[in-house]
Amino acid sequence: MNRRTFLTASGLLLGAPSVFAAAAVNGDEWPQYRGPQRDGTWKEKGIIERFSGPEIPVKWRAPVSNGYSGPTVAGGRVYVTDRVTDPEQQERVLCFDAKTGAKLWAQVYPCQYSGFAYTNGPRASVTIHDGRAFTLGSMAHLRCFDAATGKVLWSHDCGTEYGVRMPDFGIASHPFIDEDRVVVQLGGTNGACVVAFDQKTGKERWRALEDRAGYAPPVLVQQMGRRVLTVWTGDHVAGLDPKTGVTLWDYPIKSPQTLDAITSPSISGDRLFVSGWHSGALELRLLQDRMGVEKVWHQQGPNERNTLAFHTMFTAPLFIGDEIYGIDTYGELRCLDAKTGERVWSSDAVGPHVRNLGVHFTRHGGEVWIFNEKGELIISRLSRAGYQELSRALLVHPTRGQFTRRGEGVAWAPPAFAYRHVFARNDEELICADLSAS
């Protein structure tokens, strides 16, 4: 079937359905932030063990503009959001063919940025589920699209509708899918810090908490045989009933800014771990005799330069066995004893020793793939014995749109791993590279 495209008056680029769909692409998908289970785990087999040279060959490139959101991949398509300012300020949702990089559709809407810093594009990745694409922009525009065609199914201007109290760095929490609901962290007034909407209709299902907004997306945990939606806001780590939004427990974490609640809580069994720029590192235990949590340990240095465990910024920490791995404020990779919070070792090998080093971890078998802000992809092994680097190569060039560093910029957006390929973006292009062993 030949693909025919046309541009509608609303700015929607439509494409006739392609025979190239998910069935035509072998391998796992990456339909949301941090992968299928939101835990930074990539399970595909048949992947290269080492890179063949200093740069990873790029299979295709597609032009994009500024944005912090990482790509997501499902149904043979790649989704990403960006921002343009000429002739007016707009946010865009873009969809590309995963095999060729051809643009399949684009949705554009006016969006005047105000009230927050780092105004260089959307933060939250597109979440794909059951044929729908959910997006949350920096000014709290929530939209649901038909994932194949880009048709708008429903939308909310949450900033206006919910009286969003804009956090310091904009709305950033990736939309979270739970059964027939999509959940977002907004920081709205009247008990609307966290709001759940019906996936099909966009109707509000519940709202919860009076807290300020954080940036961390929710995660689901198992506690006492039931599912608990765990959110890290600007004021608490809280456990909510995912069906009703009723608060089951909360633990206060106060910060002078909502700078702490950026990365998802990390879960291992009954252990729940969070780490922030100001609050340091905190491990909680999910109680099993009642709904609640208790502090296991809390390690907090006196300031950003004198830290104890680690004070993380962008990097979602990893549990591996009885260790926790994360990036400290000035770029050190650190290993902690998960039982005590004591530091086991530190390494400067992952990236430059700079403030707020951008790093993303992805577990693949017994290895950890690390994407750093220089655009390098690293294959490593992490253990209590130390950091072992197996291979490193350049994936995508850093650009200045997100942030200027070393005179060249950064690559802060997390990559996606799907169909035995890696997908990454900077402020100029979205790229795809083949990682298959064959």
pLDDT at position 256:
66
Q: What value does the mean pLDDT take over residues 385-402? A: 97
Q: What value does the mean pLDDT take over residues 147-161? A: 98
| In the chain, % of residues over pLDDT 70 | 93
Task: Dig out the tokens for 208 from the structure.
Answer: 């919860």
Q: What value does the mean pLDDT take over residues 141-152? A: 98
Domains, the chain: 5-434 (2.130.10.10)
Given a contact cutoff of 8 angstroms between Cβ atoms, the answer to whether 370 and 378 are in contact is yes
Q: What value does the mean pLDDT take over residues 304-331? A: 94
Angle value at C-alpha 362, between 101 and 262, nearest 5 degrees:
95
- What's the CA gap between 344 and 313, in Å, rounded? 20
Q: What band does 406 get if pLDDT is binned at 50, 70 and 90?
A: confident
User: Which amino acid, 87?
Assistant: P
Q: What value does the mean pLDDT take over residues 179-206? A: 98
- What's the CA gap between 26 and 369, in Å, rounded? 21
Given a contact cutoff of 8 angstroms between Cβ atoms, the answer to whether 176 and 128 are in contact is no
Residues facing 110 on adjacent strands? 90
Would you say residue 4 has pLDDT above 70? no
pLDDT at position 25:
46
| DSSP H/E element including 43 | none
Q: Name the one residue in this structure whose structure tokens are 């990097």.
A: 315
Nearest CA among 348, 350, 368 for reference residue 359: 350
Task: Dig out the tokens for 307 from the structure.
Answer: 């830290």
- In this structure, of 15-19, 68-72, 131-135, 377-381, the range with the lowest mean pLDDT score is 15-19
Q: What band does 365 get if pLDDT is binned at 50, 70 and 90?
A: very high
pLDDT at position 258:
57
pLDDT at position 408:
86
Global pTM? 0.93
Residues 6 or more apart whose Cβ sits within 8 Å of residue 236: 209, 211, 250, 251, 252, 253
Would you say residue 1 has pLDDT above 70? no
Helix (H, G, I), strand (E, B) or coil at 159: helix
Would you say residue 13 has pLDDT above 50? no
Would you say residue 17 has pLDDT above 80? no
pLDDT at position 35:
97
Would you say residue 297 has pLDDT above 50? yes
| In the chain, % of residues over pLDDT 90 | 87
Would you say residue 327 has pLDDT above 50? yes
258-286 confidence digits (pLDDT tens): 568 888 899 999 999 999 988 899 999 99
Would you say residue 22 has pLDDT above 90? no
Mean pLDDT, the chain, rounded, equals: 92
pLDDT at position 209:
98
- In this structure, of 3-7, 279-283, 349-353, the range with the lowest mean pLDDT score is 3-7
Backbone CA torsion sign across 417, 419, 425, 431: positive
